[in-house]
Structure 1
C-alpha cells in the first residue's frame, strides 16, 4: 500500500508537518536508489513539495532517473544540516517513484522550481516515513506506514 503526500498529511498532520520542517531549510537532500546490479546508489537531490505531492525532479538520462525507471523503490533522507546539531531529528521517506509525463504538470514544475525542460519528474508514493531523535539518553523512532497508526519505538525498551 502507498499513500501520496497529501494522504499522509491527512492521516498524520502533526507528524507530516514535523517531517516537512526537516526538509524545508535545505535545498539538497540524499536520494537512495537501486542500481542495475542491485547495489544501493546515493545521489544528491532537490525535493519539492507542491500540489499535495512530494516531487523528485532530475536531469534527463541521469543514473538516478534510470534507476527509478527500472526499479521505482527509493528512500530520501533529509539533509541533517551542519555540525552536530540534529535539531528536529533524522528523517527518511521511503516509497515508490511514479514517473510523470503530463505536459501541464511538467510545465508547472519547470515554472515552480525554475528548471529548463527536459527533465525527469517523479511523484513520490510513500510506503514509510521515519523520524529518529535522541530524547535524553534514549533513541526514539517514530514510524508511519500507510494504513497504520503512527508508532513510537525506543530500541532496547520495545
Structure 2
C-alpha cells in the first residue's frame, strides 16, 4: 500500500474489501459494467460475490482504491498456474477507477499493488485481458510495461459449460 501523496496532493490508499465496505465495492463494479456497456451483477451474483470474497477460503481477492478517503477504484485478482514456469500466475480480473478520478495516480498505484502481491507470492507472471476498443486502458497497460500476447480468448458460458 502506498499511502503516498501524488502530484495532485490526493492522498491514495488501498484497502482490502471487507463486509463494511462491500457495498461500495459493488457500486464500483456497477460503474465498470456501465463503462464497458455490460449488464451489472444481479442480486444473486452480488450474493455470490460477497460469499466468494469474504469466505474463509475466498475464490478471489478484492481491494478498494481510495483518494482522500473516498473509494473511487478497485481491483480483483485470483491465481492460476503456469505449468511451463511451474509457478503461480496472478490474474488481474478487474482494475477500475471512476472516470472523474483517472490520471491522478490511483490506477498506477493499483497496478503496482498487484505487482507487489505477485512478487510476494512468487508468481511467475501477471495476466489480464483488455477490451479491443478500450484504447485508454491499452495505452495505460503499455505504459506500465504490459505486452500484448498472441492469444485468442475463448469462452463457454452458462448452459454451454
TM-score (norm 2): 0.27
Whose RCO is larger (CA < 8 A, sep 6+)? Answer: 1
TM-score (norm 1): 0.27
Is the strand fraction higher in 1 or 2?
Answer: 1
